[in-house]
Amino acid sequence: MDIMTHQKIDQELCGKPIELETDFSRVELVATQRMAADDTGLVHGGFIFGLADYAAMIAVNHPNVVLGGAEVKFLKPVKVGERVVAEADIERRKDSKITVQVSVLRDKEEVFSGVFTCFILEKHVLAE
């Protein structure tokens, strides 16, 4: 299955797709030093959110998908050098509104969970 959205995203910062099926994606990210928030190697949560958001977008896999909102929980810290995997599974589709459940795992341990509300627009969000 081809990825139809977010095709120019920096996969070093947002993750690399490793599985894509209808209504499901799995994206991996290896945390780099560029993601560190401090000298301990703590990864800034924005990168974990970005990974989860990217997984949700490609689970929807439509060129005009946008994020409308998210309810998330940061459950455990991630450190530089660790590999995390986001799994995104579409829970519900209603017209143009799509609800996606995303879980980010380090090995089998959940470090982040969220429900992402996505919308498919009639045209690209920046189209005039």
- What CA–CA distances, in Å, run from 120 to 70, 76, 116? 15, 31, 13
End-to-end C-alpha distance for the chain, whole angstroms: 30
The mean pLDDT of the chain is 97
Dist CA 54 CA 25 (whole Å)? 9
Residue 5 buriedness (CB in 10 A; 0-12 / 13-18 / 19+): middle
SS3 122: coil
Q: Over the stretch 70-97, which tens digit does the pLDDT of each residue have?
A: 999 999 999 999 999 999 999 999 999 9
The distance from CA 28 to its chain's CA centroid, rounded to whole angstroms, is 9
**pTM, entire model:** 0.96
Mean pLDDT of all residues in 47-71: 98
Q: Which domains does the chain have, with CATH numbers?
A: 11-120 (3.10.129.10)
Q: Over the stretch 35-45, which tens digit does the pLDDT of each residue have?
A: 999 999 999 99
**Token pair in block for residue 46:** 């924005």
